[in-house]
Amino acid sequence: MVNLLPFMGHQGSPGQQGMSQIGLGMAIAASMVVLSMFQQFFFNHFGGYLERCLRKLVSSMDPYVQIRFSEDSTDSGGPKNYEAYAAIETYLSSKCSAQAPRLKANSVRDINAPVLCVDDGEGVSDEFDGVTVWWHLGKEKDQGDVYRGSRNNRYYALTFQKRNRKVVVGEYLRHVMEEGKAVSASNRQLKLYSNSSSEHGAYWDYIMDFDHPANFETLAMEKEKKEDIIDDLIRYLLYGPPGTGKSTMIAAMANLLSYDVYDLELTAVRSNAALKRLLNRTPCNSMLVIEDVDCSSKITNQREKNDKDDGKTVKNILEKVTLSGLLNCVDGLFSANEGGRLMVFTTNHKEALDSALLRRGRMDKHVEMTYCGFEAFRTLAKNYLGIEHHALFGKIEALLNESSITPADVAESLIARRGKGEDCGEECLKKLIEALEKKGARENGRM
């Protein structure tokens, strides 16, 4: 404690000194209580008012407005945040190459046309309708949570003069988002994610860049069916025997929409809560895929049984991912986020699926991937041999009508002949006819 006595001027007897020290102490304590009560009273009644006045004063002196667009998709803005951030980044790539002294290249689909963007701490200006705005890429520390840890979040700060607020917030931002999305859709490198879990919960792991060449043109399937799918991509159940193109169709869908693929392995998800967390972290413009959903649900049932056998508690059993848990999550996710998300289940055994999954309205479309018909064969012949018409096509059509061969098997016989020279087309078709005849004979023999 600070000794106050030397500053007291008058020094009395030791007894008097003791008394005056106590008196002084009490006076100081009392004045501190009064002061703190006053502070509290003052700030309760006038603090808000003072702050508002101060803000008004500062903003009247500062003729600029700033808007931040954060890359963080886990805060209150959700995945939409990242969508806006990515669109801005792409939009600015065309502006920054001429202006910013430091640039960075983002991973893109076409290596000949990389998307450049400003480096951290750099800025660029832009003109729109006679209005100048300034963009700046900043970084802020985010405390994160136990699931993702702390990290640095980037944000784009848009600064403009207050008098241009209407144009910037309205037309300019719309223009930035539209342009940015159009460019990124055509040139963005797609990515493949899969789910993992740790003691902290479930999360998405980046696996690799998604570089599947499939598209709807090369997908072997009837034209009408393809068009129907393209027109209305939302929630799908793809079913059919192995090798009929379910995974190929998923790749074609992702490529068509430029969506990243989130491959959900249900057996690796530990609880319905973990599943919910994962699905909530599936950003917009993404495709959630659950392959072989019949196997996933079987394993779930099996796990429940095993747990019962092990004598584990009821709580543990309930905590496992259940089909109804999955369906609840899916319904919630998709009703909250119209568009920008696609979900596809696949199965080889539609008949084995729970009726809850098949119920109308749950999966918008059930698409059957079938054995190779003649139209599908023609696509494959064009893909692999570059042949669109041939005298042997008639015979092949007749044989395809009689046997059940998968597009994968047809493709395999066509690939096997490829590389044997320009004129291997006819030879390939003959080989295919041979394979079809053998298959037909086997199938008839079995019947």
Ligand X SMILES: Nc1ncnc2c1ncn2[C@@H]1O[C@H](COP(=O)(O)OP(=O)(O)OP(=O)(O)O)[C@@H](O)[C@H]1O
Which residue ranges make up the site for ligand X (CB under 6 A)?
Answer: 219-221, 242-248, 348, 369, 376, 407-408, 411
What are 159-163's contacts with CB under 8 Å, separation 24+? 159/64, 159/65, 159/66, 159/133, 159/134, 159/135, 160/64, 160/65, 160/131, 160/132, 160/133, 160/134, 161/63, 161/64, 161/65, 161/131, 162/63, 162/64, 162/65, 163/63
Nearer Cβ to ligand X (281/378): 378
Q: How far is the CB of 308 from ligand X (least distance, A)?
A: 31
Apex CA 381: angle with CA 110 and CA 438, to 5°? 135
Residue 446 beta carbon to ligand X: minimum distance, rounded to whole angstroms: 22
Which DSSP symbol is given to 78?
T
Q: What's the distance, CA 200 to chain centroid?
A: 20
| CA–CA distance, 277 with 66 (Å, rounded to integer) | 32
**Nearest residue to the partner ligand X, using Cβ:** 245
Q: Which does 342 bind (CB under 5 to 8 A by kind): Mg ion, ligand X, none?
A: none
Residues that bind Mg ion (rule: CB under 5 A) add up to a total of 2
Told to check if 247 binds Mg ion by CB under 5 A, we report: yes
User: Based on CB atoms, which residue is closest to ligand X, 165 or 349?
Assistant: 349
d(CA 387, CA 376): 13
Q: How far is the CB of 247 from Mg ion (least distance, A)?
A: 3
- Helix runs in 242-352, H state only: 246-257, 272-280, 293-309, 314-319, 323-336
CB of 216 to ligand X, least distance (A): 10
Residue 242 sits at φ, ψ, to 5 deg, of -60, 140
CB of 381 to ligand X, least distance (A): 11
In terms of DSSP bridges, do strands 191-198 and 260-263 run parallel, antiparallel, or are they unpaired? parallel
Ranked by CB distance to Mg ion, the top (closest) residue is 247
Q: How far is the CB of 74 from ligand X (least distance, A)?
A: 32
Among Mg ion, ligand X, none, the one that 213 touches (CB under a kind-dependent 5 to 8 A) is: none
Cβ proximity to ligand X: between 79 and 407 the closer is 407
Task: Compute the least distance from the CB of residue 95 to ligand X, in Å.
Answer: 41
Which value, in Å, is the radius of gyration of the alpha carbons in the chain? 33
d(C-alpha 56, C-alpha 370), whole Å: 68
> CB under 5 A: which stretch of 1-9, 142-150, 245-253, 318-326 binds Mg ion?
245-253
Q: Is 296 in the site for Mg ion (CB under 5 A)?
A: no
Nearer to ligand X among residue 197 and residue 348 (C-beta): 348
Amino acid (one-letter) located at 10: H
**C-beta of 219 vs 321, nearer to ligand X:** 219
| Residue among 319, 249, 321 nearest 279 (CA) | 321
Q: Which does 23 bind (CB under 5 to 8 A by kind): Mg ion, ligand X, none?
A: none
Does residue number 347 form part of the binding site for Mg ion (CB under 5 A)?
no
Q: Footprint of Mg ion on this chain (CB under 5 A)?
A: 246-247
